[in-house]
Chains A and B, each alone.
Chain A
């Protein structure tokens, strides 16, 4: 008797079930989450499993960074500074960096605006995520892709 592989049968029922499944997935809202498991872990350590909504943050990053060594980043959280919605802190994460968390910035009582600028390092083209926590505990998130080019000079690891 000739041996036959176990081939799943392509029945009409199967095709309809498959199609239905795909449509169901498409209809579901895509959860707001980071791509890499390490980033997920970092976020969980900082914010537990609290839900994060998109919005409120204006993230200014250059679309193209020549070396990843000095990428200027500006974060503005659009939330009133008085009252329970005052931004408390913001965390910058780089999805593909060896360490996901780049920095944690905390606005104290003396801060006038929920805004800051700094320079960060990016190990390559990737998404930068900023998560802001307001005084009432709610979390807001935004994400931008930065293209980091590889210059010839960066590929040389030489003593000078």
Chain B
């Protein structure tokens, strides 16, 4: 499973817009690079990213090779009740990576 880092604040007030940040370590090989011998390096990218919280999808991304290596996203969710914020990535081979952090809502 590739390395991931997520940043969810520890606490938030109900109704607050909470900034969420997530990054996954992945080369996002765009398929246009060539080795020194001239053979092309095949495409290898993360294709999907979804963040869910309190039974709702917060943010979903369909990634293309145009997203930089080690894809990083920052977005906002509405704090409703205490619970886990779930992160899910899937690459082109179907391999899934997950992470989660707890958000305490007061």
Q: Which residues of A contact B (CB under 8 A)?
A: 69-71, 92, 94, 97-99, 101-113, 115-121, 157-159
Contact = CB atoms under 8 A, between A and B. Distances in A.
15 contacts: A97-B66, A98-B32, A99-B65, A99-B66, A102-B66, A103-B64, A103-B66, A110-B53, A111-B76, A118-B61, A119-B67, A119-B68, A119-B72, A120-B66, A121-B67
Contact of A102 (B60, B64, B77): B64
Contacts, number: 103
Contacts of A108: 52, 56-60
Interface size class of B (residues with CB under 8 A): 20 to 34
Contact of A70 (B56, B57, B68): B68
A107 B76 CA distance: 10
Contact of B36 (A106, A112, A159): A159
B35 A159 contact: yes
B73 A116 contact: yes
Nearest to B60: A106
Given A112-B17, A118-B61, 8 more contacts: A69-B69, A102-B66, A103-B64, A106-B60, A110-B57, A111-B59, A116-B73, A118-B72
Nearest to A119: B68
4 closest cross-chain pairs (CB), A and B: A108-B57, A102-B66, A112-B17, A110-B56
